[in-house]
């Protein structure tokens, strides 16, 4: 299976490429600049150009699955959040439907379940994430939405806690979120679910399993 990672040079994207390189998946790293190609190749992926505010459709050619881990970043304005985290995400869903790419894993955020209760300065971001999540869920794609809590750069533990309804928990290493993406790609039982992720003691492959 060929997996296209959108936002491949981001904090989670880089870790995800490392983990995909240890599997049978063939990874494609979609980035905005050719200057990032060498970094993508070093992580075992094939680099392709794709700009969520411009042209990116050709970067998904031949993909069987897409992982959306792009984000405008906290240093940009809310206009970029709208164009990347919301509109860019929606455009990737449309392209996947046009190209017959069925599998899609979205990296969202815990507060997107109810933006009104989120930290007030982040509510516009959470609204953008929620709107993108809803658009994906209403599509014809085989989707999984992962909603991690606050992210850290601590080493991955290989264990997490999950919730299939809004909850709360401790900050989670980005590496464990990347591991959850791989676990979801491996397991079709995760299709159609929104999974919140926190630090915890349950092996990742078990934590993403939907309740019976």
Q: Which of 118-122, 150-154, 170-174 has the lowest mean pLDDT?
A: 118-122
Catalytic residue among 25, 104, 125, 198: 125
Domain that holds residue 35: 2-207
Query: Rounded to the nearest 10 degrees, how much is the dihedral formed by the CA atoms of 53, 131, 172, 22?
Result: -60
- What confidence score (pLDDT) does residue 76 get? 64
The stretch 184-203 carries a mean pLDDT of: 97
Within a domain: 212: no
Q: How confident is the model at residue 156 (pLDDT cuts 50, 70, 90)?
A: very high
Closest CA to 197 of 133, 68, 107, 81: 107
Please count the structural domains in the chain: 1
Strand partners for 93? none
Residue 125 known to be catalytic: yes
The stretch 54-76 carries a mean pLDDT of: 88
CA distance 13 to 134: 22
From the number of C-beta atoms within 10 Å of its C-beta (0-12, 13-18, 19+), residue 70 rates as: buried
- pLDDT tens digits for 9-31? 999 999 999 999 999 999 999 99
Q: What is the CATH number of the domain that holds 164?
A: 3.40.50.720
- What confidence score (pLDDT) does residue 19 get? 98
CA distance 168 to 162: 9
- pTM, entire model: 0.95
The stretch 59-82 carries a mean pLDDT of: 86
Closest CA to 56 of 38, 83, 76, 74: 83
End-to-end CA gap in the chain: 28
């Amino acid at each position: 299976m060929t997996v296209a990672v959108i936002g491949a040079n981001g904090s989670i994207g880089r870790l995800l490429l490392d983990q995909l390189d240890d599997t049978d998946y063939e990874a494609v790293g979609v980035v905005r600049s050719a200057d990032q190609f060498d970094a993508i190749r070093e992580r075992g992926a094939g680099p392709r150009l794709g700009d969520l505010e411009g042209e990116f459709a050709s970067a998904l050619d031949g993909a069987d699955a897409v992982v959306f881990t792009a984000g405008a970043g906290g240093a940009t304005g809310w206009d970029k959040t709208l164009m990347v985290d919301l509109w860019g995400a929606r455009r990737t869903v449309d392209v996947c439907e046009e190209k017959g790419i069925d599998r899609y894993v979205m990296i969202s955020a815990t507060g997107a379940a109810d933006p009104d209760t989120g930290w007030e300065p982040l509510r516009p971001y959470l609204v953008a994430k929620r709107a993108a999540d809803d658009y994906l869920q209403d599509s014809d794609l085989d989707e999984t939405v992962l909603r991690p809590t606050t992210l850290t750069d601590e080493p991955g533990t290989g264990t997490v806690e999950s919730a299939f309804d809004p909850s709360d928990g401790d900050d989670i290493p980005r590496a464990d979120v990347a591991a959850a993406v791989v676990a979801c790609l491996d397991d079709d039982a995760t299709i159609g679910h929104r999974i919140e992720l926190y630090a915890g003691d349950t092996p990742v492959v078990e934590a993403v399993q939907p309740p019976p």
